[in-house]
Amino acid sequence: MTSTSLQDSAGTAIPVPPAAKKIPTERTHHGETFVDNYEWLRDKESPEVVEHLRAENAYQEAVTAGQEPLCEAIFQEIKGRTQETDLSVPHRKDGWWYFSRSAEGKEYGIHCRVKAQDTGDKVADWTPPAVEAGVGIPGEEVLLDGNVEAEGKPFFSIGGTAVTVDGTLYAYAVDNAGDERFTLRIKDLRTGELLPDVIENIFYGVAFSPDGTRLFYTVVDESWRPYQVKAHVLGTPVSDDVVVFQEDDAAMWLGFELSADRRHLVLGIGCSEYSETRLIRFDDPAQEVTTVISRDERVLYEAEPFLLDGQERILLTHNRGAINSMVSLADPAELDKPLAEQSWQTVVGHSDDVRVNGAGVTATHLIVSIRKDTIERVQVMGLAGLGTSAQQEPVEPAFDEELYTAGVGGSDYSAPVIRLGYTSYFTPSRIYDFVLPTPEQPAGELLLRKESPVLGGYDGSDYVATREWATAGDGTRIPLSVLRHKGVKQDSTAAGLVYGYGSYEMSMDPGFGIARLSLLDRGVVFVIAHIRGGGELGRHWYEDGKKLTKKNTFTDFVDATDWLTRSGWVDPARIAALGGSAGGLLMGAVANMAPEKYAAIVAQVPFVDPLTSILDPDLPLSALEWEEWGNPITDPQAYAYMKSYSPYENVREVAYPRIAAVTSFNDTRVLYVEPAKWVQELRNKTTGSQPIVMKIEMDGGHGGASGRYVQWRERAWDYAFIADALGATELLPGAGLK
């Protein structure tokens, strides 16, 4: 099943795409039968399927051979702007500072630590040590060298690490296939030796019990849903591991964490619409599991148990009577009553303009994450008087940009500071420590610990980011982030790229991207469309773009494209679209809806056959998708609605633009078969002459291949495909590496 080539009149070879054979498979639901000619491509163990996928790669390589110099140039620009020998800012946990180093020519990070000091000066003791590239710190220990671990392996990813409170044992989980199933090992940091305990096929996340005798981890079921939390007693056979909790509802996701003060194991069970938290006290000999609010109440919430003035309290971030969520304080005794009779104290009230995303505690302060005017913000207040009339006013670290992202990057329960991450479209990522407010310093203090260096003469003032608004067909205003090089003129001649996601209440927040500079330097106006289905404007924004309102996501994207067309910045014939995963479904939908509006479309790991996947609850994560898209198995209306926009099932006879579907063979979230089927059907139906290609990473997962250099090349390929299609291959005068 390899592709061959023809010749044009000039004798130039024209590659011919591989054509998969048609084996009709019928799928019947709600009285409707769909004939799928390419479902057989799902058998990844079939040599014929693998041969076909390799033929797709060969075709893609032939079609895109002309963009290789541009791809290489973009890769070198990414590499030239990146400080390859770099390090993270150390973060303190218990008595140690933990950090990572990256070295030039090395694909993976090296994870290290050094002993912390306790002098009695809390702020000084929580000031991270200065770490220099290539220079060791006295007493520095290497916990894990990713380059050594990855040697000889096709893939390498870490799915979780944990250290015992006393700092003697280090657990780490490694994936060498890209399928997000990890092998857990434990290293004795006193000797450097590995313990005999090895646990296979675990999911993300590991944690030691406070006494260091047990290790908690998560296991997925056959549909790749995390459904068990298990406990391994060190030194015992893995076969004896105890199931701490098992979640049997196929539509619910299970996870765990330790409470901030490490007195409880917190089990989180939920979907995007409601949840349930169960608690286990580590000092309870019976290890009794208590439920905070039953899932039967259909409340979406998170719970954090902690001590307030020596009294047990539970901090609740919840949507009970509050669509944008709020924060309340509850006495555990209240939870024994029927929900309607419980009395909670309001800590952060509900607002139609502010989305409360989460809340946590340190020993002295409450930390709240909110979203206002699309921007993620952090607020803190002292625990004294919490939930009473004496509650303190929130304090918010102040930043001086309009469009930015600030979030808690980690905090230790006993620390006098919280770690914040900050970035904007043209400000490289910064790490701050925010000294928590005290009576002597009521505004707190923001301490810059690091700004990621950008090499190659980067100057953020060469670029412009503005907030614009498109108007949807129903009158809804859609926020856009419009990024451009200052050298681009508003004369309707530039190239444009529209990016979107619009699902799962995920917000496309401002963030710096080195690779994106290569497009901007070539005069591409980059528009991020904050469409419905995301979370930028609160819970309503999400709910207006899911289930039976999902098409708002797609029409919003087209309306954002129309804004760009009319903006005066771009040539309407030079616009491309980009999106990945659920954003890949978006790409498939807009390709069918408005193919004439785009010169090129890149769909990364695209969810383009959603109906087939969600109709089969045995496929990975399918049942978990019902809350997002509806349940087409039991609901004829949901089936008909999904049928009306499913990209694979709505390919039609029109001139499609140049399309690239980028995927990975071992992706467990969006299976490679979806884009493989989609490109076949696109080629069958298109009346145009533009190539439709599939690029498949045979050793990668949902995030593509592992290793930073390989990932840079993948991004360079995507951007070169777009720039080549838009005729935006030359750098603007004065742009590029300096």
3 state SS of 698: coil
Q: For residues 526 and 630, state if they share a domain.
A: yes
Instruction: Say which CATH number the domain at 40 has.
Output: 3.40.50.1820
Which of residues 109, 125, 152 is at a domain's end?
Answer: 152
3 state SS of 131: coil
Asked if 29 is an active-site residue, the reply is: no
Question: What's the start-to-end Cα distance of the chain, in Å?
Answer: 47
- Judged on CB neighbours under 10 Å (0-12, 13-18, 19+), 445 is middle
**pLDDT above 90 for 71:** yes
- Residue 690 within any structural domain of the chain: yes
Q: For residues 34 and 98, state if they share a domain.
A: no
Catalytic residue among 581, 613, 646, 706: 581
Q: How confident is the model at residue 668 (pLDDT cuts 50, 70, 90)?
A: low
Catalytic residue among 264, 622, 702, 718: 702
pLDDT tens, residue by residue, 266-313:
999 998 889 999 999 999 988 899 999 999 999 999 999 999 999 999
**pLDDT above 90 for 40:** yes
- Residue 111 within any structural domain of the chain: yes
- Total of domains in the chain: 2
Q: For residues 41 and 96, state if they share a domain.
A: no
25-29/264-270 β-pairing: unpaired
- Residue 684 within any structural domain of the chain: yes
CB 324 within 8 A of CB 356: yes
**pLDDT above 60 for 6:** no
What residues make up the domain containing 491? 23-80+456-726
Q: How confident is the model at residue 10 (pLDDT cuts 50, 70, 90)?
A: very low
Q: How confident is the model at residue 652 (pLDDT cuts 50, 70, 90)?
A: very high
Asked if 100 is an active-site residue, the reply is: no
Q: For residues 700 and 714, state if they share a domain.
A: yes
Q: For residues 111 and 54, state if they share a domain.
A: no
d(CA 268, CA 255): 5
Q: For residues 37 and 143, state if they share a domain.
A: no
pLDDT of residue 133: 80
- Residue 7 within any structural domain of the chain: no
CA distances from 290 to 260, 280, 283, 365 (A): 18, 7, 14, 26
Q: For residues 40 and 96, state if they share a domain.
A: no
3 state SS of 100: strand
Strand-pairing partners, residue 97, are 92, 114
Q: How confident is the model at residue 12 (pLDDT cuts 50, 70, 90)?
A: low
Asked if 111 is an active-site residue, the reply is: no
Question: What φ, ψ does residue 302 adopt, rounded to 5°?
Answer: -130, 150
Catalytic residue among 433, 509, 562, 667: 667
Q: How confident is the model at residue 103 (pLDDT cuts 50, 70, 90)?
A: confident
Q: For residue 218, which of 239, 245, 187 has the smallest C-alpha distance? A: 245
Which of residues 98, 128, 152 is at a domain's end?
Answer: 152
What angle, rounded to 10 degrees, do the helices at 673-685 and 47-63 form? 60
Q: Transcribe 53-97 into DSSP letters.
A: HHHHHHHHHHHTGGGHHHHHHHHHHHHHHB-SSEEPPPEEETTEE
Q: For residues 546 and 494, state if they share a domain.
A: yes
* Neighbouring residues of 7: CB distance < 8 A, sequence distance ≥ 6: 13, 14
Q: For residues 496 and 564, state if they share a domain.
A: yes
CB 482 within 8 A of CB 468: yes
Element (H, E) at 34: strand 32-36
**pLDDT above 60 for 702:** no
d(CA 354, CA 315): 19
b/e per residue, 206-243, with b = 16+ CB within 10 A?
A: bbbbbebebbbbbbbbebbbbbbbbbbebeeeeeebee
Q: For residues 644 and 690, state if they share a domain.
A: yes
- Residue 695 within any structural domain of the chain: yes
3 state SS of 283: coil
* Neighbouring residues of 557: CB distance < 8 A, sequence distance ≥ 6: 498, 500, 502, 529, 531, 577, 586, 590
Both structure tokens of 424: 């904007």
Q: For residues 61 and 103, state if they share a domain.
A: no
pLDDT tens, residue by residue, 365-409:
999 999 998 999 999 999 999 999 999 999 999 898 889 999 998
Instruction: Read off the pLDDT of each residue in 135-164 and give the average, rounded to a whole number.
Output: 91
Which of residues 127, 152, 177 is at a domain's end?
Answer: 152
